[in-house]
């Protein structure tokens, strides 16, 4: 299995989701002190 991964800044992804009509429900930074923080972001489409 091949997996292609693009790392993005969590705040930038949240902005893209908002601009696309989604609402961020929760965001958890996993490793906040690194140059490239990792996060889990839950979002849903606005109704």
pLDDT, one tens digit per residue, over 31-47 is 777 777 788 899 999 87
Query: Looking at per-residue confidence, does 15 or 3 come out higher?
Result: 15
Query: Is the four-CA dihedral 13, 23, 42, 37 of positive or negative sign?
Result: positive
Structure tokens given for 2: 């091949």
**Tens digits of residue pLDDT in 10-34:** 889 999 999 999 998 999 988 777 7
Q: Can you tell me the distance from the alpha carbon of 4 to that of 21, in angstroms, rounded to the nearest whole number?
A: 25
For the chain, domain boundaries: 10-45
Note the Cα 10 to chain centre separation in Å: 4
Query: Looking at per-residue confidence, does 5 or 23 come out higher?
Result: 23
């Amino acid at each position: 299995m091949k997996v292609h991964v693009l790392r993005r800044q969590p705040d930038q992804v949240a902005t893209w989701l908002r601009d696309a009509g989604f609402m961020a429900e929760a965001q958890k930074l996993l490793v906040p002190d690194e140059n490239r923080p990792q996060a889990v972001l839950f979002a849903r489409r606005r109704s």
